[in-house]
Amino acid sequence: MNKELLKKNLRVVPDYPVKGIMFFDVTTLFKNHKCLEEIVNGICDLYKGKGITKVVGIESRGFISAAAVAHRLGAGFVPIRKPGKLPADTVRETYSKEYGTDMIEIHTDAISEGDVVLVHDDILATGGTASAAVKLVRKFNPKAVYANFIIEIIDIPRSCPIPSDVEVTSLLQLGEKDY
């Protein structure tokens, strides 16, 4: 995995979406085919052989790599979205993040009890979105749940940690010295 290539192509936007937040813009990674290939290959290397049957992508940047990983692993792709974006019956979860609260939803028929699920998003910061996504997925009683991120911000306290029995991986671990 070429972590330096990913770091070199990552855009960091200060004070977005609010003052004091350093926003890691992964769209600059997605537009570079070599970076996108590194991301997909890196995630697939971590999860091949684990029996993943569904890859859950969190709106919206999580969709991009999650769909590619699902295809490569021979799994289905399931979106988690903001309220009102999914057309059929949903279940929802409210969560806290660095600058407020939010909600996410998943279709009620998205996951089965026998599924092995990989929850994927672009960034792990405080853990609010990821923790809420794991809670949503667990409502379906899957066989196993994993969580993966392109970037993990290591110097932000996890106000909403992902449960300790969920294996969490990330391709890049970035701290203040990296931006």
Chain mean position to CA 90: 19
- The reply to whether 61 belongs to the active site is yes
Q: Which of 72, 98, 158, 167 is catalytic?
A: 98
- The reply to whether 176 belongs to the active site is no
Structure tokens at 173: 């671990």
Task: Give the torsion through C-alpha atoms of 136, 63, 123, 148, to 10 deg.
Answer: 70
Q: Which of 61, 81, 93, 105 is catalytic?
A: 61
Give CA–CA dist 61/79, Å, rounded. Answer: 11
Beta bridge partners of 145: 117
β pairing state of 11-14 and 22-25: antiparallel
Q: Kindly list the catalytic residues.
A: 61, 98
